[in-house]
Amino acid sequence: MSQGSLTRREFIRVGAGAMTATTAAKVTIIEPNPGFARTRAVAPSDTVRFASIGTGVRGCELLEASLRVPGVECVAVCDLYDPRHDAARETIKKDVPATRDYRSILDRKDVDAVIVATMDHQHRKVVVDACAAGKDVYCEKPMSHTVEEGFAMMDAVQNGNRILQIGSQGVSSILYAKAKEIFDSGKLGGVFMIEAYSDRNNASGAWVYPIPPDASEQTIDWNAFLDGAPKRPFDPVRFFRWRCFADYGEGLAGDLFVHLISGIHFITGTNMIAHRAQSTGGLFRWKDGRDFPDLIETFYDYANFRMVLRCNLNNDGGGLLAFYGTKGTMTVKDSTVTFKPQDTHPQPEGYSIYGWPAKLREEYVKKWREENPLPAPLDSHAEEAVETFATPPGYDPVPDHQAHFFNAVRSRKPVVENEVFGNNAAIGCHLANFAYFNKTVALWDPNSKKIVKG
Ligand SMILES: NC(=O)c1ccc[n+]([C@@H]2O[C@H](COP(=O)([O-])OP(=O)(O)OC[C@H]3O[C@@H](n4cnc5c(N)ncnc54)[C@H](O)[C@@H]3O)[C@@H](O)[C@H]2O)c1
């Protein structure tokens, strides 16, 4: 890794606003990991031919990112809203076949893999069918809409011997790899508390997306959209703002907690379901008929640590992951990761002895110095050792995440964010909502594989 120093002004210019005055001195730019799949050349005979199922906002973002991944070719697109066929073709600048019926894509023998970027309530159906058809799958987060669906997807992947990768791209980012390296080094000491949030403060952040003027039952396959959800008359608000409704999404937990949980699981090497969750929050501002709160905070119990997550649609706080250890604190914010050590060198007691007479105090300090001959470190020691790392300007983890998937399709080696990892993270979201809506402690019962009231 080469080291590049930036001044504070330069650093802010590249979009990393996480520094404090004391940490501004030096920033190391993280270089792309040479082992990353994206950097490897691929023989034309190893090209992975994929189709995209769901070419809305995320589907098109993924198609755009796929143009930066060597050795892959999009050969078909599928969506329930016809204009999105054109959006997808425009994105890949290619006139590939487009359909509303994903099963016709799964029937094609020349399709190796599919990207599933449908609304969450359709993930199970498409993933299970794709696995049965022998396709490998990149499925967007959160993996499941319900606990039961997640386990059905796991079975389909494992029974079909398929590769499934879930789409929390942070897991493949060089920033999270650096955070993991710091965490694994032991520099943080024991980490018993982890905190993370993802806040935003605008209509788009609150999913109040515009409804396209051509939205109608002619342009949208409404019945296919309702598959797996209660029947109801055509309603474009439900189609385009589906995240607001429990029939199709999981609100803030499924949209944003899942990224925080996946990131924390990856960095800490945790691949389990939290034992217990308690939530608070409320719907304070975006009262447009939605099912979900615009503020949620959830406290999770894991075997070795506690975790608190928050999403707030009423303040532009951005995002943060913070790991509080006995030897130091690590924060991941925007494009930076910062490690700040704590001064853990032994020090004579300096507080409670103020209740002692001077003679006793002096004797205590003298004795302490005799027993601890090393000089106490300078106060500035910890500040000097603050380390900040930043991704290069414009770094985007999505092509790296895709490359990991497509490389696994070729190599058959497992991916990190596989069906078990994705299921565990998604259940963390379901625990948060269960606790919030039932106003109860939510417990994970591994025997019944269900969430139960505490
Ligand atoms: N990883 C990330 O950072 C990230 C970001 C945004 C969205 N997402 C995820 O991506 C998924 C899609 O989100 P979006 O914002 O693109 O939603 P969207 O509403 O813009 O697009 C979803 C599309 O899926 C299509 N669709 C639904 N069921 C289908 C089916 N059976 N066959 C074919 N097409 C179908 C719909 O017609 C719609 O156009 C969600 O799971 C979401 O959580 C992930």
How does DSSP assign 351-419, residue by residue?
A: SGGGGS-HHHHHHHHHHHHHH--SPPPPTTHHHHT-EEEEPPTT--HHHHHHHHHHHHHHH-PPPSS-H
Residue 193: what residue type? M
Residues of the chain whose pLDDT is less than 70?
A: 1-25, 33-39, 374-384
Q: Is 250 close to ligand 1, i.e. is its CB under 6 Å away? A: no
The pLDDT assigned to 372 comes to 86
Ligand 1: residue of 61, 118, 225 to mutate (most ligand atoms within 8 A of CB) is: 118
The Cα 126–Cα 385 span in angstroms is 50
Per-residue b/e over 43-82, b at no fewer than 16 CB within 10 Å?
eeeeebebbbbbbbebbbbbbebbeebbbbebbbbbbbbe
The Cα 50–Cα 96 span in angstroms is 11
The Cα 172–Cα 275 span in angstroms is 26
The pLDDT assigned to 277 comes to 98
Are 168 and 259 spatial neighbours (Cβ–Cβ below 8 Å)? yes
Nearest CA, atom 38, ligand 1: 56
375, two tokens: 């000089």
Looking at the chain, how many residues does it have? Answer: 454
Strand ranges, E, within 147-294: 164-166, 191-199, 276-282
The pLDDT assigned to 24 comes to 52
The pLDDT assigned to 376 comes to 53
Residue 36: what residue type? F
The Cα 423–Cα 436 span in angstroms is 20
307, two tokens: 């975790």
Q: What is the Å distance from ligand 1's center to 57 Cα? A: 7
The pLDDT assigned to 362 comes to 94
Q: Is 260 close to ligand 1, i.e. is its CB under 6 Å away? A: no
Q: Is 122 close to ligand 1, i.e. is its CB under 6 Å away? A: yes
Measured distance between the N- and C-terminal CA atoms of the chain, rounded to whole angstroms: 48
Q: Is 117 close to ligand 1, i.e. is its CB under 6 Å away? A: yes
Q: What is the Å distance from ligand 1's center to 208 Cα? A: 15
Q: Domains in the chain, ordered, with CATH?
A: 44-170 (3.40.50.720), 172-343+382-395+428-453 (3.30.360.10)
Q: What is the Å distance from ligand 1's center to 158 Cα? A: 24
Q: Is 140 close to ligand 1, i.e. is its CB under 6 Å away? A: yes
Q: In terms of Cα–Cα distance, which of 111, 108, 109, 148 is closest to 128?
A: 148
Order across the sheet with 72-78: list the strands.
98-99, 72-78, 48-53, 113-116, 136-139, 164-166
The pLDDT assigned to 344 comes to 84
The Cα 325–Cα 304 span in angstroms is 12
Q: In terms of Cα–Cα distance, which of 198, 194, 307, 291 is closest to 245?
A: 291
CB atoms within 10 A of CB 138: 27
The ligand 1 atom at the shortest distance from the C-alpha of residue 243 is 43
The pLDDT assigned to 3 comes to 33
C-alpha dist (Å) from residue 142 to 120, 166, 193, 248, 432: 7, 8, 24, 12, 13
Calculate ∠ Cα 277-138-290, nearest 5°. 50
Q: Is 263 close to ligand 1, i.e. is its CB under 6 Å away? A: no
The pLDDT assigned to 373 comes to 78
C-alpha dist (Å) from residue 240 to 109, 216, 270, 298: 32, 12, 34, 27
Q: What is the rounded radius of gyration, in angstroms, for the C-alpha atoms of the chain?
A: 25
- Count of H helices and E strands in the chain? 15, 17
The Cα 426–Cα 21 span in angstroms is 37
